[in-house]
Structure 1
Amino acid sequence: MSTTLPTRPLDPAPARTVVAPVVPSRSRLRPLGLDEVRITGGFWGERQTVNAAHTLSHILGRLESEGWLPNFDRAAAGTLPAGRRGREFSDSEVYKYLEAAAWEIGRHADADLERTFRAVVDRVGAAQEADGYLNTEFGRIGQQPRWSDLEWGHELYCLGHLFQAAVARERTRPGADDRLLVIARRAADLVCDVFGAEGIPSFCGHPEIEAALAELARVTGDERYAAQAALFVARRGHATLADIEWGRRYFQDDVPVRDATALSGHAVRANYLAAGAVDVAVESGDDDLLASLRAQWTRTRGRRTYITGGQGSHHQDEAFGDDWELPSDRAYSETCAGIASVMFAWRLLLSGGDAAYADLIERTLFNVVATSPSADGRSFFYANTLHQRVPGVVPDPDATSPRASSSLRAPWFEVSCCPPNVARTLASLDAYVATADDRGIQIHQYAPAEIRTTLDDGRDVSLHVDTAYPSDGTVRITVDHASDEAWTLSLRVPEWARGAGVRVWSDGSVTEDTAVDAGWAHVTRAFRAGDVVELDLPMAPRVVVPDPRIDAIRGCVAIERGPEVLALESVDLNSGDDVGEVVLDAAALPVEGDGRVWVQIADRTPTAGGWPFGDGPAAPDAEPSRVALVPYHDWGNRGPSTMRVWMPTA
């Protein structure tokens, strides 16, 4: 049983409609779309239910009340700029809402959501100008001219999200008569005219349109869009945009994409650009660019990524730090950066099949994406600190919060990119579960699910997945249809899963029972209906030690269980205690009990005399006591608290 996928060149994708956010024209793995994979429950199914029932309507309500959707009405009526509300990029939140709604309609047909979707598209379309231009912040009397502020204006960024919404709609409802794809193509044609080889030799300060144009080319067959995406990628890194106080690195204009050695600058922008660059490399057959992006991902993951999968350690510019610069209490780790990281890693996974990409996707989904929304789906974290030093303040449910507030989840932000980004990710999450190739099926993320597809040679495959993951580490895959010829079911074994095993059951008997290493476990056979492949992942809590080059957490440890990072929250301590006043008893291993993970802690001895520097490390002054940890994605749900992931040891 091998733990790696066979190395092969990228294959042309078979001619078929795939209902997924990313559908390369050639790839090592073919994504299975929403019509082929359905999450049916469990951890992610519950969050998808909340997303559909509460988050989408919450977002739409705030788009109305904040005035961001009415901006389009004012544009259509010719009354702008009077009354326009929101930041220069507020149009993009409307488009992300449309994308999320499109994916949700693709998951479950909903007549009310369909009517709402069409009504919003009508309002957007009414604001489009005769030549295809569409933006509520620029281009009218009293506003800045079109394309006059490429550093900060976000015009192309906003259009990128429009294109992705149109792609989602066309893939979930091909040929729909709502005209969203027509609106998007008119705008894309204008972009190609204005910014083509003979046009403005520049690009948007906030990458996003690159991946969107590539996907629009894939869904329409118009190669001009792919060529424009490639042109935007090639133009970066040549000091084209005006310099700013944080330097051109902020918007990735300091080093050409193919010459970079790691992601740097604004973390969301860097990941969006990298995702678009992978699309360009794959579509153009640029293997050197693809190799560079893989190397950048490897270094970024290994040196610039938090244990949660979060990225971005600078608050002032929402940016990556240097290698090993990962302070817990200053972790910015923007929710959108986590989502963009998933987008980048997923594209690399499709192109190469390396399980490490899916490992980081899993870590980021459980510890960034799942952390942002509240249990009711109506409030969110924008930033995701790993150490909350001061208890937060319960936000006013009707107020709009500053974007980086991380004390408690807030219902809306002045810069509200994260809520609709979470919504579109959860609505399309089924498409990140599994892939196929000419040998069989690969399962990357574990959730109760139904998987039905046709292999490249025409064979139908049907499976269903039963699991309580991550509460439990057993994943059971039952084959629903017999096969006359052998095919391969490949299961990802996470890097943390030391001691994992695979069993194969047929006719009630175990026919294979094998220990597997991290990477891929392959089961190849002519499956019979009712055959079961069972993956056992060890879920005992484990102590994690940081690389000593990470200065900010040297001498600390973290606790993980399965894919979940755990945290110490002050609400679980004795009354009045703070997470900064305790140390972990390193001699006592974490244990499970009553459905939680428990550790031993002791209070620190206060520094004598009020001077914080002395002859040796502070020692605990009491016998250790037992305290329960909380999954990081659940912290902040029980009122104001302090919290930390990395705990100093006694």
Structure 2
Amino acid sequence: MSTTLPARPLDPDTARTVAAPVVPSHSRLRPLGLGDVRITGGFWGERQGVNARHTLAHILGRLESEGWLPNFDRAAAGTLPLGRRGREFSDSEVYKYLEAAAWEIGRSDDTALEATFRAVVDRVAAAQEDDGYLNTEFGREGQQPRWSDLEWGHELYCLGHLFQAAVARERTRPGADDGLLLIARRAADLVCEVFGPDGIPAFCGHPEVETALAELARVTGDARYAEQAALFVARRGHETLADIEWGRRYFQDDVPVRDAEALSGHAVRANYLAAGAVDVAVESDDHELLTSLRRQWARTRGRRTYITGGQGSHHQDEAFGDDWELPSDRAYSETCAGIASVMFSWRLLLAGGESAYADLIERTLFNVVATSPAADGRSFFYANTLHQRVPGIVADPDATSPRASSSLRAPWFDVSCCPPNVARTLASLDAYIATADDHGIQIHQYAPSEIRTTLTEGRAVSLDVATRYPSEGSIRVSVIDSADEPWTLSLRVPEWADGARLRVEGADGVTQEAPTAGGWARVHRAFRAGDVVELELPMAPRVVVPDPRIDAVRGCVAVERGPEVLALESVDLDGGHDVGEVVVLPDVPPVEDGGRVWMSVTTRGPAPDGWPYGTEATVAPAAAGRVALVAYHDWGNRGPSTMRVWMPIA
């Protein structure tokens, strides 16, 4: 089936008015953006506040001190390559910062950040060449020629992040006079000219530009950009790029996208490509491609995803392993891979409406995205191990760390894709809370929030969501205003929430129970101001066992509470024990006490000097007791420690 788009131009009207990262021209669900939904507090509201107050300034400071933003000044002055600093893809971190700032300005109307944003855009604009080309690593005397290293050069990848920044700006400040959208369109026009049907028949080794071009098409109405995205997706998988030591699978050039059975290769690249392929499939009505991507998502989720939602089990190539290859202590689970997974899942959710996609988004947000930044928003995990065997080392706050050191959170990395990726995700998170369709409103993620939107035929609806989730399982949706006609309010019921209950408290004093089934709790009625819909999710801690085909954790258990995965951290152990000495008692369930979840365990003494294999008696556990667990996203915040998610059974 062809991936060519219909000849009609895309209609940008809807895309412009919805302040969201993804706005398909048509889809099963319509995203509600920053103008429709506002997170007002709670778990995610607190993190958005830290992101706004600390993380964005921290990132900008490091972009300056590392020289990555001054690279644009050198380009404008004509002094490159002399003095250029950073990796070949460092331009992209500047663009991700701009995207994060654009969403934050749209969220909070921060006037100081607006001034900073415009100043950075001016520096980027000054570096753009007359024909639209924009990159500080290629194309000048003393540098490699343009487009000469598609395997590793990241030129198109960097431009993809530029396009996404421009989309964020246009959707949050339509028609802004800072010039960012014009910069992006000039660069995108050049990409279409150079890589179009009669141009270079190749693509970027790091996917990202595909979804960015699709979104740029949606925001401008120019179908050329979406057609170029479709062309990039169709070209991949035919062994076009040069082979490398990890094989062409690394950059998804071994199998055509529509023929793949699961995501493979570099985990970030694979998810970015899949997200862009969904955009292409939706805009071109390519049902065959969309069906294939759904199948790939299902197998990847079922066989190649950690309990945290993390993806990528290989350190050397930052890649997926084979089915069931999910070692805890060697988990790579890059933060950016988690964010890219959210992007892929969200697009499939909009296309089809199935709650399973929102379930994986929730798991990944709470246990990967929320895990990366420290409480102060100024240091980060790049990789997210599930078993830390050696206590970490406190990072020098002024140093730049290796990218994947699974130690303590670090303030910056030589490959610092994750900090600005986290920043743009948190700043735009309001747009992942809820959607609408012809029948009503769907709430996918739970946070204290306000929803003010319009249904079909101009029916205005105002809702307030009150919850302490995930600390507590009650989600109360109060109707502030509603049209007289009936519509459906749908609340997602997570797959782990057996026994969830839904109650409707009418403004007329009548209370009724409503069923929950198929991942949703739905109420269809003519809502009135004062109606309250309350979903009660069971939050008791639960023991989870792995599929026995996951060799690395066979004979172990993990503990979850609500959407949060819990972990055992050595700072909670008495007597100087290490997490490797703890064994869980199999028949004693976890309990909550004093705001913590506790497990009954036994601890082994120091390992004998002799042979570590023997009879049950020689390796039997020693002292019994109980230990408190910590939410995985909070581990590493109390100093150097060892940690594990999967705990062996006695």
Give the structure-2-normalised TM-score.
0.97
Cα deviations by residue, 1:396-432 (Å, 9 ceiling, x for unpaired): 0000000001110000000000000000000000000
Superposition pairs for residues 323-472 of structure 1, below 5 Å? 323-472=323-472
> In structure 2, the residue corresponding to 1:481 is in which secondary structure?
strand
Asked if 1:70 is matched to 2:74, the reply is no
| Distance (Å, rounded) in 2 between the aligned partners of 1:364 and 1:315 | 20
Cα deviations by residue, 1:441-462 (Å, 9 ceiling, x for unpaired): 0000000000010012210011
Superposition pairs for residues 30-179 of structure 1, below 5 Å? 30-179=30-179
Contact 1:502/1:536, CA 8 A, preserved across alignment: yes
Cα deviations by residue, 1:66-112 (Å, 9 ceiling, x for unpaired): 00000000000000000000000000000000000000000011111
> In structure 2, the residue corresponding to 1:509 is in which secondary structure?
coil
| Distance (Å, rounded) in 2 between the aligned partners of 1:352 and 1:649 | 40
Cα deviations by residue, 1:189-209 (Å, 9 ceiling, x for unpaired): 000000000000000000000
| Distance (Å, rounded) in 1 between the aligned partners of 2:288 and 2:263 | 17
Deviation at 1:599, TM superposition (A): 0.5
| Distance (Å, rounded) in 1 between the aligned partners of 2:624 and 2:265 | 43
What amino acid is aligned across from residue 588 of structure 2 in structure 1?
A
Alignment correspondent of 1:3: none
Deviation at 1:485, TM superposition (A): 1.0
> In structure 2, the residue corresponding to 1:228 is in which secondary structure?
helix
Range 523-532 or range 510-519, more displaced: 510-519
Contact 2:31/2:432, CA 8 A, preserved across alignment: yes
| Distance (Å, rounded) in 1 between the aligned partners of 2:403 and 2:518 | 38
Deviation at 1:513, TM superposition (A): 1.2
Deviation at 1:575, TM superposition (A): 3.4
Superposition pairs for residues 222-261 of structure 1, below 5 Å? 222-261=222-261
| Distance (Å, rounded) in 2 between the aligned partners of 1:139 and 1:88 | 12
Contact 1:71/1:85, CA 8 A, preserved across alignment: yes
| Distance (Å, rounded) in 2 between the aligned partners of 1:633 and 1:255 | 35
Alignment correspondent of 1:27: 27
What amino acid is aligned across from residue 58 of structure 1 in structure 2?
H
Range 623-632 or range 633-642, more displaced: 623-632
> In structure 2, the residue corresponding to 1:457 is in which secondary structure?
helix
Contact 2:267/2:319, CA 8 A, preserved across alignment: yes
Range 596-605 or range 467-476, more displaced: 596-605
Alignment correspondent of 2:187: 187
| Distance (Å, rounded) in 1 between the aligned partners of 2:526 and 2:618 | 63
| Distance (Å, rounded) in 1 between the aligned partners of 2:531 and 2:368 | 35
What amino acid is aligned across from residue 202 of structure 1 in structure 2?
A
| Distance (Å, rounded) in 2 between the aligned partners of 1:131 and 1:88 | 21
Cα deviations by residue, 1:491-517 (Å, 9 ceiling, x for unpaired): 000000000000000136353213524
> In structure 2, the residue corresponding to 1:480 is in which secondary structure?
strand
Alignment correspondent of 2:3: none
Alignment correspondent of 2:208: 208
Contact 1:138/1:145, CA 8 A, preserved across alignment: yes
| Distance (Å, rounded) in 2 between the aligned partners of 1:347 and 1:636 | 32
Deviation at 1:288, TM superposition (A): 0.1
Alignment correspondent of 2:597: 597
| Distance (Å, rounded) in 2 between the aligned partners of 1:281 and 1:126 | 36
What amino acid is aligned across from residue 585 of structure 1 in structure 2?
L
Alignment correspondent of 2:532: 532
Alignment correspondent of 2:507: 507
Contact 1:605/1:620, CA 8 A, preserved across alignment: no
Query: Which 5+ residue runs of structure 2 have no aligned equivalent?
Result: 1-10
> In structure 1, the residue corresponding to 2:558 is in which secondary structure?
strand
> In structure 1, the residue corresponding to 2:560 is in which secondary structure?
strand
Cα deviations by residue, 1:40-82 (Å, 9 ceiling, x for unpaired): 0000000000000000000000000000000000000000000
Contact 1:132/1:183, CA 8 A, preserved across alignment: yes
Contact 1:13/1:24, CA 8 A, preserved across alignment: no
Residue 502 to residue 618, structure 1, CA distance change in 2 (3 Å):
farther
| Distance (Å, rounded) in 1 between the aligned partners of 2:520 and 2:574 | 44
Alignment correspondent of 2:562: 562
Deviation at 1:365, TM superposition (A): 0.1
Deviation at 1:623, TM superposition (A): 4.0
Deviation at 1:612, TM superposition (A): 2.1
| Distance (Å, rounded) in 2 between the aligned partners of 1:616 and 1:535 | 48
Deviation at 1:606, TM superposition (A): 5.7
| Distance (Å, rounded) in 2 between the aligned partners of 1:258 and 1:193 | 26
Alignment correspondent of 1:300: 300
| Distance (Å, rounded) in 2 between the aligned partners of 1:623 and 1:376 | 38
Contact 1:66/1:85, CA 8 A, preserved across alignment: yes
Cα deviations by residue, 1:537-574 (Å, 9 ceiling, x for unpaired): 00000000000000000000000000000000000001
Deviation at 1:586, TM superposition (A): 1.2
Structural RMSD (CA): 1.4
What amino acid is aligned across from residue 243 of structure 1 in structure 2?
D
Alignment correspondent of 2:287: 287
Contact 2:514/2:521, CA 8 A, preserved across alignment: no
What amino acid is aligned across from residue 437 of structure 1 in structure 2?
D
Alignment correspondent of 2:543: 543
Residue 582 to residue 525, structure 1, CA distance change in 2 (3 Å):
same
| Distance (Å, rounded) in 1 between the aligned partners of 2:45 and 2:444 | 16
> In structure 1, the residue corresponding to 2:48 is in which secondary structure?
helix
What amino acid is aligned across from residue 534 of structure 1 in structure 2?
E
What amino acid is aligned across from residue 320 of structure 1 in structure 2?
F
Query: Which 5+ residue runs of structure 1 have no aligned equivalent?
Result: 1-10
| Distance (Å, rounded) in 1 between the aligned partners of 2:69 and 2:306 | 35
Deviation at 1:587, TM superposition (A): 1.5
Residue 508 to residue 398, structure 1, CA distance change in 2 (3 Å):
farther
Residue 58 to residue 16, structure 1, CA distance change in 2 (3 Å):
closer
Deviation at 1:17, TM superposition (A): 1.3
| Distance (Å, rounded) in 1 between the aligned partners of 2:61 and 2:143 | 27
| Distance (Å, rounded) in 2 between the aligned partners of 1:620 and 1:354 | 47
| Distance (Å, rounded) in 2 between the aligned partners of 1:480 and 1:514 | 21
> In structure 2, the residue corresponding to 1:129 is in which secondary structure?
coil
Contact 1:604/1:618, CA 8 A, preserved across alignment: no
| Distance (Å, rounded) in 2 between the aligned partners of 1:13 and 1:256 | 33
Alignment correspondent of 1:4: none
Residue 581 to residue 82, structure 1, CA distance change in 2 (3 Å):
same
Deviation at 1:521, TM superposition (A): 1.0
Alignment correspondent of 1:221: 221
> In structure 2, the residue corresponding to 1:629 is in which secondary structure?
strand
Alignment correspondent of 1:271: 271
| Distance (Å, rounded) in 2 between the aligned partners of 1:15 and 1:76 | 33
> In structure 2, the residue corresponding to 1:624 is in which secondary structure?
strand
Deviation at 1:15, TM superposition (A): 7.5
> In structure 2, the residue corresponding to 1:436 is in which secondary structure?
strand
Cα deviations by residue, 1:206-247 (Å, 9 ceiling, x for unpaired): 000000000000000000000000000000000000000000
What amino acid is aligned across from residue 265 of structure 1 in structure 2?
G
What amino acid is aligned across from residue 36 of structure 1 in structure 2?
D
Contact 2:12/2:218, CA 8 A, preserved across alignment: no
> In structure 1, the residue corresponding to 2:17 is in which secondary structure?
coil
| Distance (Å, rounded) in 1 between the aligned partners of 2:164 and 2:648 | 44
What amino acid is aligned across from residue 635 of structure 1 in structure 2?
W
Contact 1:498/1:517, CA 8 A, preserved across alignment: no
| Distance (Å, rounded) in 1 between the aligned partners of 2:97 and 2:126 | 17
Residue 15 to residue 48, structure 1, CA distance change in 2 (3 Å):
closer
What amino acid is aligned across from residue 318 of structure 2 in structure 1?
E
Cα deviations by residue, 1:109-158 (Å, 9 ceiling, x for unpaired): 11110000000000000000000000000000000000000000000000
| Distance (Å, rounded) in 2 between the aligned partners of 1:15 and 1:99 | 17
What amino acid is aligned across from residue 574 of structure 1 in structure 2?
D
Contact 2:362/2:563, CA 8 A, preserved across alignment: yes
Alignment correspondent of 2:4: none
Deviation at 1:13, TM superposition (A): 9.6
Identity %: 82
